[in-house]
Amino acid sequence: MLIDAEIGHRASRPFSAEPRPFLRWAGSKRFLLPHIAVVLPKEFGTYYEPFLGSGSLFFLLLADSAVLSDSCKDLITTYRAVRDNPEQVMSHLRLWKPDRDLYYEIREKRSSWRYRRAAEFIYLNKTCWNGLYRVNLEGKFNVPYGKPKTDNIVEGRELFTAAKALSRKGVKLLVADFGESLKDVEKNDFVYLDPPYVTGHNGNGFLEYNKNIFSWEDQVRLADTARRLASRGAHVIVSNANHAPVLKLYKGFKKKIIQRHSTLASDLEKRRKIDEALLFST
């Protein structure tokens, strides 16, 4: 795939360009797309995104050949349902508006039918607090209701254009650990790594704060994988916390520090500017 000027143009207007993500996701890189667009490889083979989340970069690139994956099964099965039959998913979403009682009713008892379950996932995602995905020890989604400011869950056009992008013949959707999903990366492929992490910690509490989100052992394993893929000739871009021990793991990678506003604090007055690191191999 060749990167052209149109990608940069769409990156500059991530909330109006189509297709675009139909999910909210804590830590989404939609705001960072203009910065990422500047360091994209000029040309690449297959695109790999093993921490899919809302898929912001995939929907920007619209790669014909892509391996999209995540360890969250409910997320990937939702993408597959939207890809296979967006009208069935939308038929449920059209009937639902943000409502506290409905939210907890759906959260408590999820459907086993794939299209309704996908609609439920989207509904919970768009009406929960800050698009956060979190489960308890029993594996049940347990994020509280988020008091959405709009009645709109998702536009039909938004879902259908996303489905069209996901339906491209060379696009694969996998439930997998990042190590498994990246095993077939070849020279000139493009890998975007955006592991889950929180930057809004106090003092030097990064490791303690993030250990249940994405452990330090996982960070080390990811960096080892990134360096190995780069040595293989793949183009690798990593979004991560601007934290010295993390940056040290990516020796040899170029670095760009980006400042943005945090969206995770529940109190708007406590939301502040935070730094994130963009690391790239070429």
What CATH number does the domain containing 115 carry?
A: 1.10.1020.10
Alpha-carbon distance of 151 to 116, in angstroms, equals: 19
Q: What range does the domain containing 248 cover?
A: 5-71+176-280
Burial class (CB in 10 A: 0-12, 13-18, 19+), 235: buried
DSSP 255: E
Give pLDDT tens digits for 184-196: 999 999 999 999 8
Dihedral sign from CA coordinates of 118, 123, 124, 129? positive
Judgement on whether residues 131 and 258 belong to the same structural domain of the protein = no
Same domain, 67 and 83: no
**pLDDT above 50: residue 202:** no
Does 167 fall in a domain?
A: no
Do residues 96 and 55 share a domain? no
* Structure confidence at residue 266 (pLDDT): 46
Domain count, the chain: 2
Residue 32 lies in a domain: yes
Mean of pLDDT values over 105-114: 97
> What string of H, E and C letters represents the secondary structure of 91-150?
HHHCCCCCCHHHHHHHHHCCCCCHHHHHHHHHHHHHHEHHHCCCECCCCCECCCECCCCC
Neighbours of 169 (CB within 10 A): 6
pLDDT at 31: 84
Average pLDDT of the segment spanning 63-77: 97
165 assigned to some structural domain = no
CA 140 to chain centre: 20
How far does the chain reach from its first CA to its final CA, in angstroms?
A: 16
Query: Of 92, 126, 158, which marks where a domain is finished?
Result: 158
Residues 129, 145, single domain; the answer is: yes
Whether residues 123 and 205 share a domain: the answer is no
- Number of C-beta neighbours around residue 167 at 10 A: 12
Does 36 lie in the same domain as 106? no
Helical packing angle, 73-84 and 114-127, nearest 10°: 120
Q: Is the peptide bond before 19 cis (omega within 30 degrees of 0)?
A: yes
Predicted confidence band of residue 61 (pLDDT cuts 50, 70, 90): very high
pLDDT score at 260: 73
Q: Is the domain of 120 the same as that of 254?
A: no
Of 126, 158, 190, the one marking the end of a domain is 158
pLDDT at 49 over 50: yes
Q: Are residues 129 and 189 in the same domain?
A: no
Q: Is the pLDDT score of 20 beyond 90?
A: yes
Mean pLDDT for the chain?
90
What integer pLDDT is reported at residue 55 of this predicted model?
Answer: 96
Tens digit of each residue's pLDDT (9 = 90 or more) over 164-178: 999 999 999 999 999
User: If you search the block for the tokens 């619209």, which residue do you land on?
Assistant: 62
Longest dimension (CA), the chain: 52
Are 239 and 278 in contact, with CB atoms under 8 Å apart? yes
Reduced to 3 states (helix: H, G, I; strand: E, B; else coil), residue 67 is: strand
Mean pLDDT throughout 60-80? 97
User: In terms of pLDDT, which residue wins out, 280 or 205?
Assistant: 280
Q: What pLDDT band is residue 207 in, cutting at 50, 70 and 90? A: low
- Residue 169 in any domain: the answer is no
Same domain for 253 and 209? yes
Residues 195 and 237 in one domain: yes
Which is more confidently placed, 106 or 282?
Answer: 106
- In a domain? residue 171: no
Which of 129, 158, 187 marks a domain boundary?
158
* Mean pLDDT in residue range 96-122: 97
Please report whether residue 118 resides in a domain.
yes
CA-CA distance, 220 to 217, in Å (whole number)? 5
223 located within any domain: yes
Residue 187 counted as domain residue: yes
**In contact, 153 and 123? CB cutoff 8 Å:** yes
Q: Is the domain of 182 the same as that of 60?
A: yes
Mean pLDDT of 241-267: 82
In contact, 107 and 135? CB cutoff 8 Å = no
pTM for the whole structure: 0.91
Q: 228 and 96: one domain?
A: no
The CATH number of the domain holding residue 241 is 3.40.50.150
* 136: its two tokens: 């308890």
Percent of the chain with pLDDT over 90: 73
